[in-house]
């Protein structure tokens, strides 16, 4: 059952009970007050009647000292006030002496009445209600019971009318109340409905859907918290999707990269086994198989390196920058196609020397690939406040802004056809980024298409803040 | 002689295709750069172009756009195997699509098929006293018609296109029966024997020990 319906139902039940009970009490209270008043009046009348009777009895001519029955009858007839008052007079033996016409009272009160006790009761005859009173009168040594009957049907009718009116009012109030409460309940549960909708939409994969906040109460707070949670979720899902996409791209790219050398190897091997080739051709084929195999090997090593650097721990140590630059100098001394300018400040870095060498060589190779033969490639080592900065600068083709983010993905090359003539596997920069991440550093790419690229990174000089964390 | 232009940024792949197509009797030229390829297409007249999609300079799709009005048949050769790439290539007007790594025999067969479609290939193949009219699917030996089944005809074509080349049983099976070879050589052997008998090729169609068969014709 819907929450708003439950709320409505309970409210209506409580409302009905409250209205019913209070109405009943109210009508009854009015009735009882009226009844008390009527009874009081009946008793007063009864007392006056007794007084009148006794007085009348005293005034009877004292012919006999005894009050005769016909005298009583006469007095009774007089007291009837022309028929407007109904009364009954009984003697000491409880025998009716006088009875007004239309007196319909019973004899129940007689046994309960004595000199000190006046009694009354309500009797119901046909459609009429009466208050019957009974008291003892003492006249000329005779004990008589004097009974009166007072019509109180009106009071009862009023009560019935009261109940009827109240019932109508209650029904009207309930209907009205139901409508009003229905409105209130749906208004109150609006945030819940919004939240439900948001939850459902999100469950269907619409992660950017948010619940509308419509109240300032606990539900409003819940909505806020829900949206905050949704934000966090969306962010995480986005991150995961991106990661997954990157992984899929990597696998696809890798599979793609594998195909070219595989085609060559399979093709040449097939030629060797199927054709009777002359010596030159079989040498060519064998050589291609060898070099393409080597390429596959290099790729698999690079890949392995990435895997290892992604998951492995490495031993960092203090490395002199002299050592690193000397290595680079020896590497590129013989290369005459480019102008290498190596210059460095004395200093140390907290690093794994072989991996950093690999990073620098990768960056230099990239710079060479991007440049025209004969242009200058600048390699600098600069000591600065926050560490030691390595910088590789070329004046080659440059990298467009929108490519700069993707460039560190495995197998990505700015020239989409991946000029393989320059012998890249497309794994270089991805590897550099991984290695630098292990050193708690990152690769800064500053490039302008047509003007050249400057790649740099900063390493800690010793096992300080950054470096120390790896050791623990 | 039919002239074929090979455009692929990988020298080894170019050479591989070149060697095989030259062996099958075509004249091949290869180029590794998109821009240069355009230049060559403009200058020379080619009967067929084998085109790699990913090229430095101008990419394969762009070259395709340029070639289309010229009406030169094109076979795309690429490592991309997704359906959308294939569809894109074919929609641009390529005549066929070959995915790396490819089988050399398959490459030759596809080149043959495309050329035939453009009526550039020689419709009449001969080996010894056997003549095959590919279009009409008519085989004659010394002028006498020989009745061959579909598979036998397929085998014969494969041998004719790869004269003096040892064809492995798996290669034969995969190209003629177009299914994966599961090591059961009897089907292939049976058909080759029947072909031999029908054409009287007991001496030309030699068994290569443990490997397959070779059609030997004096060159």
- Contacting residues of B for A284, CB less than 8 Å apart: 15, 19
What pLDDT, on a 0 to 100 scale, did the predictor assign at position A310? 65
Nearest-by-CA chain A residue for B169 = A274
Under-50 pLDDT residues of chain B: none
CATH numbers and ranges of domains, chain B = 3-117 (3.40.50.2300), 124-215 (1.10.10.10)
Residue A279 has pLDDT above 80, yes or no: yes
Check CB contact under 8 Å for B13 and A284: no
Check CB contact under 8 Å for A263 and B13: yes
Average confidence score pLDDT of chain A: 82
pLDDT band at A309 (very low <50, low <70, confident <90, very high): low
Check CB contact under 8 Å for B56 and A260: no
CA distance A263 to A293: 11
Nearest-by-CA chain A residue for B81 = A256
> Within 13 A of B68's CA, how many CA atoms are on the CB side?
13
What pLDDT, on a 0 to 100 scale, did the predictor assign at position A179? 92
Q: Which of B19, B56, B100 sits opposite A419 (nearest CB)?
A: B56
What pLDDT, on a 0 to 100 scale, did the predictor assign at position A422? 44
Check CB contact under 8 Å for B13 and A281: no
- Contacting residues of B for A273, CB less than 8 Å apart: 166, 168, 211
Angle among Cα A288, A425, A441 to the nearest 5 degrees reads 155
CATH numbers and ranges of domains, chain A = 3-174 (3.30.450.160), 313-471 (3.30.565.10)
Q: Are B75 and B99 in contact (CB under 8 A)?
A: no
pTM as predicted: 0.51
Check CB contact under 8 Å for A292 and B12: yes
Nearest-by-CA chain A residue for B106 = A267
User: What would the mean pLDDT of A220-238 be, rounded to a whole number?
Assistant: 89
What pLDDT, on a 0 to 100 scale, did the predictor assign at position A28? 92
For the stretch A175-199, pLDDT in tens is: 998 999 899 888 888 888 888 888 8
For the stretch A93-112, pLDDT in tens is: 888 888 888 787 787 888 88
CA-based nearest distance A318→chain B, Å: 43
Q: Record the tokens describing residue B195, joined without a space.
A: 């072909």
CA distance B18 to A268: 12
Query: What are the residues of chain A with a beta carbon less than 8 Å away from any beta carbon of chain B?
Result: 256, 259-260, 262-264, 266-268, 270-271, 273-276, 281, 284-285, 288, 291-292, 415-421
What is A235-282 written as a DSSP string? HHHHHHHHHHHHHHHHHHHHHHHHHHHHHHHHHHHHHHHHS---HHHH
B25–chain A Cβ distance below 8 A for any pair:
no
What are the backbone angles phi and psi of residue A455, rounded to the nearest 5°? Answer: -110, 135
What pLDDT, on a 0 to 100 scale, did the predictor assign at position B219? 66
Buried b (16+ CB within 10 A) or exposed e, B32-56: bbbeebbebbeeeebbbbbbbbbbb
Q: Which of A264, A291, A416 sits opposite B16 (nearest CB)?
A: A264
What pLDDT, on a 0 to 100 scale, did the predictor assign at position B81? 72
Q: Which of A260, A415, A416 sits opposite B10 (nearest CB)?
A: A260
What pLDDT, on a 0 to 100 scale, did the predictor assign at position A312? 63
Rounded percentage of chain A residues whose pLDDT exceeds 70: 89
Check CB contact under 8 Å for A264 and B59: no
Higher pLDDT residue, A453 or A415? A453
What is A66-95 written as a DSSP string? S--HHHHHHHHHHHTTTTTSEEEEE-TT--
Least confident of A153-162, A327-336, B130-139: A327-336
**What ipTM was predicted for this assembly?**
0.76
Q: Which of A285, A288, A420 sits opposite B9 (nearest CB)?
A: A420
pLDDT band at A17 (very low <50, low <70, confident <90, very high): very high
Check CB contact under 8 Å for A288 and B16: yes
Residue A85 has pLDDT above 70, yes or no: yes
């Amino acid at each position: 059952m819907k929450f708003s319906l439950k709320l409505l139902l309970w409210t209506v039940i409580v409302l009905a009970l409250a209205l019913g009970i209070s109405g009943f009490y109210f009508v009854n209270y009015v009735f009882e007050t009226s009844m008390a008043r009527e009874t009081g009046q009946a008793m007063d009348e009864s007392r006056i009647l007794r007084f009148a009777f006794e007085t009348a009895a005293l005034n009877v001519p004292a012919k006999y000292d005894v009050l005769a029955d016909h005298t009583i009858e006469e007095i009774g007839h007089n007291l009837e006030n022309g028929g407007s008052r109904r009364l009954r007079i009984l003697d000491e033996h409880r025998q009716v002496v006088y009875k007004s016409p239309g007196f319909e009272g019973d004899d129940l009160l007689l046994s309960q009445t004595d000199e000190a006790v006046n009694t009354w009761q309500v009797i119901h005859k046909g459609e009429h209600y009466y208050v019957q009173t009974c008291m003892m009168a003492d006249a000329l040594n005779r004990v008589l019971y004097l009974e009166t009957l007072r019509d109180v049907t009106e009071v009862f009718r009023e009560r019935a009318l009261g109940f009827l009116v109240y019932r109508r009012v209650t029904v009207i109030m309930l209907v009205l109340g139901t409508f009003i409460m229905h409105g209130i309940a749906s208004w109150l549960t609006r945030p819940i409905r919004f939240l439900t909708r948001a939850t459902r939409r999100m469950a269907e994969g619409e992660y950017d859907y948010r619940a509308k906040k419509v109240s300032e109460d606990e539900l409003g707070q819940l909505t806020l918290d829900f949206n905050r949670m949704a934000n966090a979720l969306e962010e995480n899902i986005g991150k995961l999707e991106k990661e997954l996409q990157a992984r899929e791209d990597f696998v696809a790219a890798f599979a793609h990269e594998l195909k070219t050398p595989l085609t060559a190897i399979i093709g040449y091997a097939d030629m060797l086994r199927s054709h009777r080739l002359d010596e030159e051709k079989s040498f060519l084929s064998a050589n291609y198989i060898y070099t393409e195999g080597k390429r596959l090997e290099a790729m698999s090593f690079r890949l392995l390196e990435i895997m290892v650097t992604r998951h492995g721990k490495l031993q960092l140590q203090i490395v002199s920058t002299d050592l690193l630059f000397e290595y680079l100098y020896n590497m590129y001394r013989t290369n005459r196609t480019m102008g290498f300018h190596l210059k460095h400040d004395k200093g140390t870095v907290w690093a794994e020397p072989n991996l950093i060498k690999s990073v620098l060589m990768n960056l230099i190779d990239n710079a060479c690939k991007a440049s025209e033969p004969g242009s200058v490639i600048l390699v600098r080592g600069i000591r600065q406040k926050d560490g030691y900065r390595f910088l590789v600068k070329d004046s080659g083709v440059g990298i467009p802004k929108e490519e700069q983010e993707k460039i560190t993905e495995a197998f990505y090359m700015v020239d989409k056809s991946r000029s393989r003539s320059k012998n890249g596997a497309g794994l270089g920069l991805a590897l550099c980024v991984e290695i630098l991440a292990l050193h708690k550093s990152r690769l800064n790419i500053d490039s302008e298409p047509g003007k050249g690229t400057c790649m740099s990174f900063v390493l800690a000089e010793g096992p300080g803040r950054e470096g120390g964390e790896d050791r623990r | 002689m039919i002239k074929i232009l090979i455009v692929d940024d990988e020298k080894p792949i170019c050479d591989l295709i070149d060697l095989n197509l030259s062996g099958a009797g075509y004249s091949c030229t290869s180029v590794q750069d998109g821009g240069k390829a355009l230049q060559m297409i403009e200058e020379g007249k080619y009967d067929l172009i084998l085109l790699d999609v990913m090229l430095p300079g101008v990419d394969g799709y762009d070259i395709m756009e340029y070639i289309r009005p010229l009406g030169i048949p094109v076979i795309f050769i690429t490592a991309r195997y997704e359906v959308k790439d294939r569809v894109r290539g074919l929609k641009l007007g390529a005549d066929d699509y070959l995915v790396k790594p490819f089988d050399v025999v398959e490459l030759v067969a596809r080149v043959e098929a495309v050329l035939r479609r453009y009526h550039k290939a020689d419709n009449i193949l001969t080996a010894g006293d056997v003549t095959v009219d590919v279009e009409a699917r008519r085989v004659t030996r010394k002028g006498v018609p020989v009745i061959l089944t579909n598979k036998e005809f397929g085998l014969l074509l494969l041998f004719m296109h790869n004269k003096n080349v040892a064809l492995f049983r798996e290669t034969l099976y995969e190209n003629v029966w177009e299914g994966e070879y599961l090591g059961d050589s009897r089907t292939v052997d049976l058909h080759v024997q029947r072909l031999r008998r029908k054409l009287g090729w007991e001496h030309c169609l030699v068994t290569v020990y443990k490997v397959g068969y070779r059609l030997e014709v004096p060159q």
